[in-house]
Structure 1
Amino acid sequence: MIEVQHLTKHFGDNLAVDDLSFTVKPGIVTGFLGPNGSGKSTTMRLILGLNSPTSGTATINGQRFAELKAPLREVGALLDAKALHPGRSARNQLVALALSNQISLSRVDEVLDIVGLTEVANRRAGDFSLGMSQRLGIASALLGDPGTLMFDEPINGLDPEGIRWVRDFFQQLADEGRTVLVSSHLMSEMARTADHFIIIGRGRMITE
């Protein structure tokens, strides 16, 4: 479960997140909706401890991200599909992540198979299309088999078949009892993907 309480973030004079409070429950897909620039990505970075809040708290299963003893086994996230080492193969990207988090290397091939990248696992990630990079990012998020998953605009660059796969896969993850938070600026797509919605604008809650 993700719990956000009165979360606020200033970047200088810019108020990016304004007193947000919401809960993301396990067992359902929660859509995090808002136009580009509304504060979705910043909020997700705050939850993951990548930025520090000006005030307020964000916890995962009752703990701040920095307090998690084995973060990748607790929460997996896809924030930027192109934030990869371009010279490494897809497999080696995941091997490095597994080794640094004491995760069995057998899990690498498992997640490559789950996301449909087995046949291109030895290709350089820098040569991947955006859609393939999204799949590799999802594989990275799954590597620790976490109970909480966060995806920022995960359908960008995917073809219609890939979008359908993502939609079905996220529902499968939720059906397994995991907490699944998916951000998007596309209401039409989220209507097909999510069971519950959190909608923000200019960093503020509009409706939940």
Structure 2
Amino acid sequence: MMTWEHIQLVGLAVGVAILLGVPFGIYITQHETLSNLVLTVAGIIMTIPSIALFGIMIPILSVINQGIGFLPAFLALVLYSQLPIIRNTFIAIKNVDPNMRDAAIGMGMTTWQRLRKVEIPIALPVIMAGIRTAVVLTIGIGAIAAYIGAGGLGEYIARGISTSYTTMVQVGAVSVSVLAIVADYLLGRIQKQVSPKTAHSK
């Protein structure tokens, strides 16, 4: 039950982060000044301790009676996921071989066609690496969300600490670690499947 709660929280947060971060990462490749600002802000968010960010969410969301529980944890994890996803998408698209881009333009492709058929497929391994980082990161941070009533595997750790039951803390910590390892492995397999053959050989 707690494992499923954890998977739901992380899955939804990273899913939304992908839907926001990948298009935004692509967009800022065309706006250098904006890219510096966005990456700086995302980096600053990453430096905020997770428990502090949860604390910031509580009074803000209390206005709509959602100060504790799933919503503040979800929003915080979406924010934490943004940096690796936006940064890797930005770097991946920027590093596409200019000759490949010029060739696509020469073939008369529109910007969208060029992105869909040339740039994104080439950039996909690096984008997937950012998503893998975001997933592992949010699985770990998601454990702390138990302290604001979001449930998940962090419940074992929180209860173990409050009752001085070391075994329960260990079970929670190991469970979170195993979930992160399994998720990273599965995403790695998916990355190999969707990446171009040239990326497989590296």
TM-score, length of structure 1 as denominator length: 0.24
Q: If each structure's helix is expressed as a fraction of its own residues, which one has the higher value?
A: 2
Q: Bigger relative contact order, structure 1 or 2, given CA contacts below 8 A and separation 6+?
A: 1
Q: If each structure's strand is expressed as a fraction of its own residues, which one has the higher value?
A: 1
Larger-Rg structure? 2
